[in-house]
Amino acid sequence: MSQRLRTLVVHAGEHREGGAVAAPTYRSSTYALGEPESFDDIRYIRLNNTPTQQAAEAKLAALEAGDALVTPSGTAAVWLALNACVQPGEHVLAPARVYGGTRKILDHLTEREGVEVTYVDLSRPETWESARRPNTRAFFCETIANPWMSVPPLQEIVAFARRHGLVSLIDNTLATPVLYRPREHGFDVVVHSASKHLNGHSDVVAGAIIAAPERLRAIRVHANRLGICPDPEACALLVRGMKTLPLRVGAQCDAAMTLARWLDAHAEVDAVCFPGLPGDPSHARATELLDGFGTMLSFTPSGGERRARALIASLRLPIEAPSLGGVETLVSRPATTSHAGLPAELRRSMGVDDAMIRVSVGVEDPDDLIADFEAALAESALADAAE
């Protein structure tokens, strides 16, 4: 990669046809056949080979060092990547603490596709060997695991996978290529929810898979057969969003650091999960592996679930909504959003406290955010005392 990220996001994959500085959106579902007429000459949106999607894929390919496929959602990306890499009867290692939607996909693979899954503690590499089986085929992980914001020993995962001939897959949604480029560190397959930071404006649902050309080709064939394809409009918005990815993520990381420090020092905050804090269990690893500490944090106010609800209700700037990575700060309680689909017992065993508040830090001025959290912490304390 000769050009730097901030240059690549602006210029990679841009054809500038007809002198257009910003690429037009090609909505055409089908394209005139040229000579010679073979199946591969057919251009059709469902075959994942039309110009606006290709523009988004070329930009992603430059950022994540591999060939790219844009998918209609991050969920579709996780599903396709796993489904293309693992056959019925094969076995997958996956984190016990994993994105709730991915957990549901893994459950589906177990129940319906005859795939075996063992959930491992990514922070204890000494336990992985005993979880491995003769039919183990893949090791799935996430760069930053939400809502704990933990960073696993990524190089040990790559080394373990290589040693045992496993496909290594990583969900890089929270880190983005700004903080970590998994393929440069030896991961085979990268997946993204492009609905989050890559687009960054909370107005697109899309996903992406990046892999070596041959593997990506196989995944693309799989997508074409199943009719899994993004809409050109989503691809065009994704292209536009990606141009400011490093600027947004840089500002969001700085603001998250500022807010995390402030919350950590607050007397009525019991715990803060953010790898940028020196006391965080992932601090050393994040410092070593990532080019930043991320845009997300979680914290637990004292006073339990009721206080957490009152606090969220008192916030004026952050919007209570699921999802993350947009320019506006969002808050949610993982117990009722990302992990709501799981049985309460499983959720608690995964360390998701009912009072935990997750913050996806936007690009607002961090001083305004702090003032708002300060007022909300005070108001929610008063509300609690009044009852």
Active-site positions read 46, 99, 171, 196
Rounded Cα distance between 308 and 320, Å, is: 12
How many residues are given for the chain? 387
CB of 152 to ligand PLP, least distance (A): 13
Does 358 help bind ligand PLP (rule: CB under 6 A)?
no
Rounded Cα distance between 223 and 292, Å, is: 33
Rounded Cα distance between 200 and 205, Å, is: 11
By beta-carbon proximity to ligand PLP, the closer residue of 53 and 195 is: 195
Considering only residues 73, 282, 298, 337, which one is a binding residue for ligand PLP as defined by CB under 6 A? 73
Does 208 help bind ligand PLP (rule: CB under 6 A)?
no
CB of 71 to ligand PLP, least distance (A): 9
Stretch that binds ligand PLP, among 54-62, 67-75, 259-267, 296-304 (CB under 6 A): 67-75
- Closest-by-Cβ residue to ligand PLP is 74
Give me the residue label for tokens 């990268």: 190
Does 231 help bind ligand PLP (rule: CB under 6 A)?
no
CB of 38 to ligand PLP, least distance (A): 34
By beta-carbon proximity to ligand PLP, the closer residue of 84 and 376 is: 84
Other Cβ atoms within 10 Å of 2 Cβ, number = 5
By beta-carbon proximity to ligand PLP, the closer residue of 186 and 322 is: 322
Report residue 354 as tokens: 């009912």
By beta-carbon proximity to ligand PLP, the closer residue of 173 and 202 is: 173
Rounded Cα distance between 56 and 172, Å, is: 17
Does 99 help bind ligand PLP (rule: CB under 6 A)?
yes
- Chain centroid to CA 189: how far? 13
**CA geometry: angle 21, 25, 27, nearest 5 deg:** 160
Considering only residues 176, 195, 282, 298, which one is a binding residue for ligand PLP as defined by CB under 6 A? 195
Burial class (CB in 10 A: 0-12, 13-18, 19+), 328: middle
Report residue 139 as tokens: 């090791």
Considering only residues 181, 196, 248, 307, which one is a binding residue for ligand PLP as defined by CB under 6 A? 196
Phi and psi torsions of 300, nearest 5°: -120, 110
CB of 44 to ligand PLP, least distance (A): 24
| Sheet architecture: strand order including 330-332 | 269-273, 296-301, 357-360, 330-332, 319-320
Q: Which residues sit at the interface with ligand PLP, rule CB under 6 A?
A: 73-75, 78, 99, 101-102, 142, 146, 171, 173-174, 193, 195-196, 205, 207
